[in-house]
Each structure stands twice: as structure tokens, then as C-alpha cells.
Amino acid sequence: MSQTSLWQANQQNNDFAELCNALYERELRVLANLETTSVESVQGRLKSLSYYINRTANLMAQVCEQGKSPLDLDTQNATWSAKQASKLPLAGQTEQDILSWYEINALQLGLVIPVLKLDHITLDSIDRIDPDKNRVRTNASGWFSLEDVTSNSNHLTLLKPNKKVMMAACAGHCWQDNTQKNKLRPTMLSLRELLLSCAINWQDFKHPLAL
């Protein structure tokens, strides 16, 4: 092994270790503040925690190493960072723009898509396609009609993926609302969202990457 490759291996190991530490601290805080009386529920999450943290840290380090993502990795906090726009990046996100994107592109299970939640954009993924009723179901946000992007029962809005929207979602950018230019402190992505962020194909938003 050359000196250069040895240094790269050490750096990758250091990044992985820092990411794991940050993710463990974050998830333990979440569990400590969890409002539940079910011991079994907490035990179940603890049993799977090691697997998901190791997987997430490994994938985040890989994405950074590959250099194809426009995001910067903060290993100490296990977060993605990017320059925040002055307001929600909703240019080209009219209802017709969104519906046309989903109509034209062949949808796939596992495709990472953005969902608007009033003051920020979250990452979700398609887990069911219903061509008969012209709708899709996402893992966390539920069903969306492909005839009315705001018809979701949770008052969420389906967006079409593009670079600015996906970067804002991955970095947890927040604004006071979708009209005022008032940036808020970024939100922390969940483990599920961090895993989804590693499956984004930045060169082709129509095709997901395999995790």
C-alpha cells in the first residue's frame, strides 16, 4: 500500500468514526425524549440502531469520497451542508410543472422525491405506484394524486426533484414561510432521510441509486 492510499484509508476511517459518533449522540437524544410507554418499542429501535447508523455513516462517507454530490459533508455533526437560498427554491414548481414531470418520467419504486412541508422540504421515496387511480404512495407522507399535487390528506405538496430543491432538502434548510425571505435554523435529518440522501442520483433524478 502506498503512502497516499494509506492516508486515504485512514481519512475514510476517521470520517466513518466521526459520523458514527455524531449519529449515535443524535439518536440517543431522540430516544431519550421519545414520548412512549412501550418498553418493547424502545428496545426494538435500540436493537436495530447499530445497523442503521453503521450503514448511514458508511454511505455518507462513500458519497463524499465519490465526489458526485454538490453537498458538503460535516462529519462532526453528520449533516450535509450547502449555501441556503434566500427563500424556498420553488421556481419552476407550478402544479403543471410538477404533474408534467411525473407524467413524462417512468416512475420507479425507491425513487427519492421531495415533499414540501410549509417551511421546508423533506426527502421521501416512492414505495407504491397505483396506475389505475393515477397516484403514488410515499414511505412517510402517504398517497399523492398525480392529478392534484396538493390533495394529500396531510396538507403536504409533492414537488419535482431538481438540484436546488434536493440540496435544500438534504441540508435541512428552513424558511419562515414560502413567501418571506427569512431563513431559519436548519432541521436535523432523520436516519431515514440521511439514507435517502445517499440514494440521490445527482446526474439523473429519474433513476435512483442502489443502496
Say whether pLDDT at 144 is over 70.
Answer: yes
Helix (H, G, I), strand (E, B) or coil at 117: strand
Segment 28-39 shows an average pLDDT of: 81
pLDDT bin (cut points 50, 70, 90) of residue 177 is low
**pLDDT of the residue at 11:** 59
Grid cell locating 75: 462529519
Segment 179-194 shows an average pLDDT of: 87
CB 133 within 8 A of CB 141: no
Say whether pLDDT at 42 is over 70.
Answer: yes
> Average pLDDT of the chain?
88
Pairing of β 79-81 and β 72-74: antiparallel
Segment 128-138 shows an average pLDDT of: 93
Grid cell locating 181: 425571505
Segment 13-29 shows an average pLDDT of: 93
Helix (H, G, I), strand (E, B) or coil at 161: coil
Say whether pLDDT at 55 is over 80.
Answer: yes
**Cell 453528520 sits on residue:** 78
Segment 74-101 shows an average pLDDT of: 94
Segment 20-34 shows an average pLDDT of: 91
Segment 40-63 shows an average pLDDT of: 91
Give which of 165, 95, 164, 87 is closest to 124, Cα–Cα: 165
Give the range among 43-47, 64-68, 119-123, 125-129 with minimum mean pLDDT: 43-47
Segment 94-110 shows an average pLDDT of: 89
Domain boundaries, the chain: 3-75, 82-197
**pLDDT of the residue at 33:** 84
Dist CA 34 CA 63 (whole Å) = 31
CB atoms within 10 A of CB 209: 16
Segment 70-97 shows an average pLDDT of: 94
CB atoms within 10 A of CB 29: 11
The model's pTM is 0.89
